[in-house]
Structure 1
Amino acid sequence: MESLFHTETHKTIIKRLDSLNPDSTASWGKMNVSQMLNHCQKPLEIPLYNKDFNLNSNFLIKLLFKKSMYDDSKIRKNLPTPKPFKIIENKDFSTEKTQLKKLIEDFYELRSKDSFQPHPVFGNFTPSQWGQMQYKHLDHHFTQFGV
């Protein structure tokens, strides 16, 4: 499984991010590219800033979805988005792209970290699982926008 902590994967994700532009359009879903860039910041803010976004921990969700956060399966298209991660207001493309790149770089700098705070919904992840999960989410949305 690819991981945002792997150097080549990190470089590829940054190249894909750099290839997005304000006119990039989604193959599915309701977000425009600027909203997607803002949305992708939220999962990175959890391990970087210990944000919990008032996400509710649900045992059934944890049981059913935790492993899928870091396995080789693809994220299904059009899954419901948790309310705190749902972006409906318009966003500035340049600002959101710059901020997402900064968060990706900040997260990559944690590649040697031994442990992280528990995820607010899914509990403990190993550092490897955090890197895989972050890659998987970015890959899903970058694919959504054709990069």
Structure 2
Amino acid sequence: MKSFFEQQTYEELRARLQQIESSAQPEWGKMNAAQMFQHCQYPIQTALGKDKFNMKPNWIVKLLFKKMMYSEKPFKRNAPTPKVFQATDNYDFSSEKEKLDQWMQELWYDRDNEDRRPHPVFGHFTKDQWGTLQWKHLDHHFRQFGV
């Protein structure tokens, strides 16, 4: 399975991000592109230990999520998003796109970090698990906008 921490995959993700135009319409879901950019920053901030979310572990979510994460299948369309990760405000497209790119770069530069804090909901991840999670999430939302 691909990983955000593989150079070719990282470069592909950044190139796909740049292909998303302000006029892009989602193929599914309710978010516009700027909201999607904002939403995609959250898991990266979590991986970097810079999130500001107060979430409690949930064993049912953990069990279901880990099964999805290890599956070769992409995340399902229209899967529910936890309220804390929903981006529903009006955001500036260019600003949020640039912020997402910057967060992606920061995580790439931190890719060899083997001492990440546990995920606030799902617990301990290995470096490979963090890389897979980031790739699957970004891939899911970039496909949502046709790239």
TM exceeding 0.5: yes
Code of the aligned partner of 1:14: R
Cα separation, 1, equivalents of 2:117 and 2:67: 18
Letter in 2 for 1:115: D
Match of 2:140 in 1: 140
Aligned residue number for residue 74 of structure 2: 74
Uncovered stretches (5+) of structure 2, i.e. residues with no partner:
none
What amino acid does structure 2 have at the position aligned with 1:55? M
Q: Is the 8 A contact 2:49 2:117 kept in 1?
A: no
Write the distance in 2 (CA, Å) between the matches of 1:52 and 1:124. 18
CA contact (8 A) 1:50 1:117 kept: no
Give how far 1:70 is off. 4.2
8 Å contact kept, 1:31–1:88: yes
Structure 2 residue aligned with 1:100: 100
CA contact (8 A) 1:70 1:136 kept: no
After superposition, give the CA deviation of every residue in 1:80-106 in whole Å (9 maximum; x if it has no partner): 111111111110001000000000011
Determine whether 1:91 maps to 2:91: yes
> Percent identical across equivalent pairs?
45
1:6-85 to 2 correspondences below 5 Å:
6-51=6-51, 53-85=53-85
**Alignment deviations for residues 3-62 of structure 1 (CA, whole Å, 9 cap, x no partner):** 110000000000000011110110000000000000000111102134251122111111
TM-score, normalisation: structure 1: 0.95
4+ residue runs of structure 1 moved beyond 3 angstroms?
A: none
Q: Give the letter for the 1:89 counterpart.
A: D
**Compared with structure 1, are the counterparts of its residues 108 and 71 closer, same or farther at alpha carbon in structure 2 (3 Å cutoff)?**
farther
Counterpart residue type for residue 58 of structure 2: N
Code of the residue aligned with 1:47 in structure 2: it is A
- Residue 120 of structure 2 aligns to which amino acid in structure 1? P
Q: Is the 8 A contact 1:45 1:103 kept in 2?
A: yes
1:26, 1:33 within 8 Å by CA — same for their partners in 2? yes
Look up the SS of the partner of 1:91 in the other structure.
coil
Taking structure 2 as the reference length, the TM-score comes to: 0.95
